[in-house]
A and B are shown apart, each in its own frame.
Chain A
Amino acid sequence: MDNLKQIDNILKKAVADMPNNGHNLSSDWDAIEKKLKHRKRRIILLWSFLALFISSSLILFRLNNNNTVNKITTTRDVVNKKDKSQHSSNESIKNEKSINNPLPYNKEILNPKISVVANSQNVTTQKDNTEPKKDTETSNRFELTLHSKTINIFNQEINQPEKIVFVKLQQTKNLEKSNRTAYKQGWEYGISFTPSISNKIVQENSNLSGLVNRNYNLFIRNQEKSSFANNFGLNFSYHLSPKLFVSSGLYLTQRAEYTNYKYTITEFPIVTNGEITDYAPLNPLAYVDINHVGSNLYHFIEIPVNLGFKQSISTNFEIRSQLGLSLLSLTNIDGKKGNFLNLQLEDLSDLKFNTYNIATSVKSGIYFNKKRFNIGLEPSYSINLNSLNDSKTSALKTRPYSYGINLSTNIKIFKE
């Protein structure tokens, strides 16, 4: 066998002696330069999209802030004019203003030492425990004196103060809730992390389906299982109304698969006119043993646009559901995979994949709300709508998907 080592020298010499084939290099450079320019354009386009999105978000945010200030000023002017014409005492004016802020009202109503006179449009307080002020002009007016056994509500005397307290507290809660939801318009910024399980849907590419090896499913497809992946990033959402919001963000997203290959290639596919027509047995010396265990990771940058709905279920908790589309840009691939045609193991970084992908995602879960922040826990599901594989070179269409639990925490920037 050593005798044949001189073949290496013959080969080296032949390669060195081979004359230049007179290939026209300028046309090659033109093609390369075109590709480089195209790549540059794609990067510029992506950054422009991001810049446009951020700047339009900022403009929208500023516009909303201006509207809020205008509304508050107008309300105060109206209240001041009304106060001057209808009330003579300074204390009444102060109490009229307090309606714009629900918190003082709530404090007073829960204080058992203070009597409250309220109607649907204004609230006045009396700081002594004497006879509450009565006003017969408005039919929906009610009075509450917590330390008294007799309550006058809607101009009817009731001798069961405990029930009234319950009714009043219920009304207070409803008012508090409606006040809070009425002001829920604005931004939320935060971070989110989604540990998930990733897998894929594999279909044959009809254009190249004749190139799938007869042992592909047995040796490769069936040995590829779900794997752990995660998604991490920044999210922001704009709450359009008490029930509706839109959300987006910038995430580092993974899709993954676990591979456990253990097979021997003993035959070679014979391809005629782009189709496997037969299989030729390999010489036993040329058998190839494949033993590979690992995880393949596909890394993306993801920009989602989701439409969301929310529903309060208690003072601090709400259910949120989101549905939307994402633009996924493939940034990196790690791992090895069995080839669909010859079953050889190949490095993923050498294969051709679609750089840009569209995915759809849905998530629904519970959020714990505080005044300035919230924490959410949402089961989520996401699937690529287009194939990850390049349709010109791969006989398979692969659409990865993942399901997991989205954990997120957001800071609220709501106008008040």
Chain B
Amino acid sequence: MISEEELIRRCKEHDRSAQKMLFEKYANKMMAVCMRYCKNQEDAKDLLQDGYYKVLTSIKSFKGNSRIDTWMTRIFINLALNRNRIGRNKYSHYEFDTKFEKADFDEEPVNENIEAKLVIKALNELPVIYKTVLNMYAIDGLTHKEIAKQLGISEGSSKSRLSRGRSMLNAKLKRKK
């Protein structure tokens, strides 16, 4: 088993076997990221391929200031945000759920013991603008400043979307439960 530094060095030299090893090492983790930012598995699969292509062709710019998977996750998020807006996936993400817009926002917290599958399903049902901020902040650990920069919005907008997203998810989880 080669070290991560060696793996990255070899990837920078376009060593195909090292590139495959890097893919295999983080594919599941990145697929999970893709699934969170895409509506269905087909889109996620597409994003996984495009993301890895971008990672492998721009790995020379990786300076080692962070973990490689963190750097890769950022690349995948960037791509996902782009695809969610103008993606090749027939613009399915822009189907606006007006019924959900009319739903009440529940501020009473839901019980933590809830099935993971239900949580992910509820997250995927949120409008994309809230789902994205929740994903970026709560799961991927980006700050509001970073989210604002990535999405081209103000930090205030990011905070309000997060708050609204939490409230909507909470309401949805309560209903599912």
Candidates B16, B23, B86; contact of A351 at CB < 8 Å = B86
Residues of chain B within 8 A (CB-CB) of A272 are 95
Residues of chain B within 8 A (CB-CB) of A31 are 49
Chain B residues 81 to 117 lying within 8 A of chain A, measured CB to CB, are 81-82, 85-88, 90-91, 94-96, 98, 101, 107-110, 112, 114, 116-117
**Does A138 sit at the interface, judged by CB under 8 A?**
no
Residues of chain A within 8 A (CB-CB) of B82 are 346-347, 350-352
Nearest chain-A residue to B23 (Cβ)? A29
**Does A312 sit at the interface, judged by CB under 8 A?**
no
Nearest chain-A residue to B82 (Cβ)? A350
Q: Do B57 and A36 touch (CB < 8 A)?
A: yes
Inter-chain CA distance A220–B116, complex, in Å, is 41
Inter-chain CA distance A286–B158, complex, in Å, is 9
Residues of chain A within 8 A (CB-CB) of B154 are 289, 291
- B134 → chain A closest CB, angstroms: 7
Q: Contacts A8-B137, A36-B57 known; A18 to B91 CB distance under 8 Å?
A: no
- B78 → chain A closest CB, angstroms: 5
Inter-chain CA distance A286–B150, complex, in Å, is 17
Nearest chain-B residue to A285 (Cβ)? B160
- A296 → chain B closest CB, angstroms: 13
Inter-chain CA distance A346–B16, complex, in Å, is 33
Residues of chain A within 8 A (CB-CB) of B91 are 211, 271, 274, 341
Q: Do A274 and B90 touch (CB < 8 A)?
A: yes
Inter-chain CA distance A1–B160, complex, in Å, is 11
Nearest chain-B residue to A342 (Cβ)? B85
Listed stretches A19-27, A97-105, A152-160, A303-311; interface member: A19-27
Which of the listed residues B20, B96, B98, B163 has the most CB atoms from chain A within 10 Å of its own CB?
Answer: B96
Q: Do B116 and A13 touch (CB < 8 A)?
A: yes
Nearest chain-A residue to B109 (Cβ)? A3
- B54 → chain A closest CB, angstroms: 10
Q: Contacts A8-B138, A350-B82 known; A1 to B107 CB distance under 8 Å?
A: yes
Inter-chain CA distance A28–B94, complex, in Å, is 27
**Does A59 sit at the interface, judged by CB under 8 A?**
no
Residues of chain B within 8 A (CB-CB) of A287 are 157
Q: Number of contacting residues on A, CB 8 A?
A: 62
Residues of chain B within 8 A (CB-CB) of A1 are 107, 163
**Does A207 sit at the interface, judged by CB under 8 A?**
no
Q: Do B134 and A269 touch (CB < 8 A)?
A: no
Candidates A10, A13, A32; contact of B52 at CB < 8 Å = A32
Nearest chain-B residue to A291 (Cβ)? B154
Nearest chain-A residue to B28 (Cβ)? A20
Which of the listed residues B56, B91, B107 has the most CB atoms from chain A within 10 Å of its own CB?
Answer: B91
Chain B residues 9 to 68 lying within 8 A of chain A, measured CB to CB, are 16, 19-20, 23-24, 27-28, 31-32, 35-36, 41, 45, 48-49, 52-53, 56-57
**Does A345 sit at the interface, judged by CB under 8 A?**
yes
Residues of chain B within 8 A (CB-CB) of A394 are 86
Residues of B within 8 A of A (CB): 16, 19-20, 23-24, 27-28, 31-32, 35-36, 41, 45, 48-49, 52-53, 56-57, 78-79, 81-82, 85-88, 90-91, 94-96, 98, 101, 107-110, 112, 114, 116-117, 119-120, 123, 129-130, 134, 137-139, 150-154, 157, 160-161, 163-164, 166-167, 169-170, 173
